[in-house]
Structure 1
Amino acid sequence: MKTLWVLVIAWASVAPAASMPVCSGGHRVNCVVDGDTFWWRGKKYRIADIDAPETDASCEAERRLAAEATSKLKDLLANDFAVEPTGRFDRYGRRLVIVKIDNKSVGETLIAAGLARRWQGRKEHWCPAP
């Protein structure tokens, strides 16, 4: 049983509540990039179970939604949160993780707020079709 607890503690890291600003500049330690990506303890993470709108999107509607998603993730990560590694990385080298607050998925919270979609294995456009 002792070994099991050591594995559980190593598997899910908990971050104490602290201000999590939006990233700016080159030195990134603890900050939010956008609605599904953040830096924590100097490492870059992507929330594995969602796709959020892009801040550099081609349409204003997606950029506005991306700003809302970024702000919401920033607010959520100001609480105590747990990072559960999936053991996978995306094509940009970001660690894919599940993030939870009070045992509830942050990804599911963003989806419920209309600020993210469930990840379908590929990026989907948020801009309305012309």
Structure 2
Amino acid sequence: MAHLVARHHPGSRRRRVSYRRRTQAGFALWLLLATAGISGALGTPSVIERPEARDTGAALVQPGAPAVAPDRLTARFGFCHSGGGRNCVVDGDTFRFEGEKYRIADIDTPETHPARCAEEAVLGEAATRRLRTLLNEGAFTLDEADRDTDVHGRKLRIVTRGGASIGDQLVDEGLARRWEGYRRPWC
């Protein structure tokens, strides 16, 4: 009789079910990892096309695939009001990071020091604020451009996050132009 009481005790049934579920989940995880290891050994491609993206040609990259290097640079950016600072934004295409001055190589933004007209001043301030926001949103990468520095001694870099150019984002938002090798007036 004591055997039946222990067998039908509510806690004992839950433990058995919980143990069974844990072992089934563990087996499922082991099977998934084993299958992934086998498909990797057989040379399964590391890029899988999404069915809903077939028309656009977009693809998903599996974890561990050598697609885009992870973004590792990060800082909290302010504004460089007096021209100095360790991590700050000068204007829409220039900033200081770790004390070094950088110019975003793939764009041109309106001038703010000094602006040549009221429209340029307004757009330049908006580009400056937006660049600060974008840099503060997370880790980024500084990719090399065609030259290392410009005539002002600023390091020329293309700023990316997740492989996408932050400069392109500013262009898409109407706050910058693609760099054409020279400045054009904004007024």
**Residue 110 of structure 1: which of 147, 151, 170 is its match?**
170
Deviation at 1:103, TM superposition (A): 1.4
**Residue 83 of structure 1: which of 142, 157, 161 is its match?**
142
Deviation at 1:36, TM superposition (A): 0.3
- Please identify which structure carries the higher strand content: 1
Cα separation, 2, equivalents of 1:113 and 1:14: 25
Paired residues for 1:60-79 under 5 Å: 60-78=118-136, 79=138
CA RMSD, Structure 1 to Structure 2 (Å): 1.9
Q: Which has the larger radius of gyration?
A: 2
Gaps in structure 1 of 5+ consecutive residues: 1-8
Cα separation, 2, equivalents of 1:15 and 1:124: 31
Could you tell me which amino acid in structure 2 is paired with residue 72 of structure 1?
A: R
| Change in CA separation of 1:26 and 1:58 when aligned onto 2, cut-off 3 Å | closer
User: Is 2:72 the partner of 1:14?
Assistant: yes
Structure 1 length as normaliser, TM-score? 0.83
Percentage of pairs with the same residue: 45
Structure 2 length as normaliser, TM-score? 0.58
**Residue 96 of structure 1: which of 143, 156, 166 is its match?**
156
Give the number of the structure with larger relative contact order, counting CA–CA contacts within 8 Å between residues 6 or more apart: 1
Q: Secondary structure at the match of 2:183?
A: coil
Contact 1:13/1:84 (8 A) holds in 2: no
Gaps in structure 2 of 5+ consecutive residues: 1-68
- Please identify which structure carries the higher helix content: 2
Number of residue pairs aligned between Structure 1 and Structure 2 = 117
Task: Tell me what 1:51 maps to.
Answer: 108
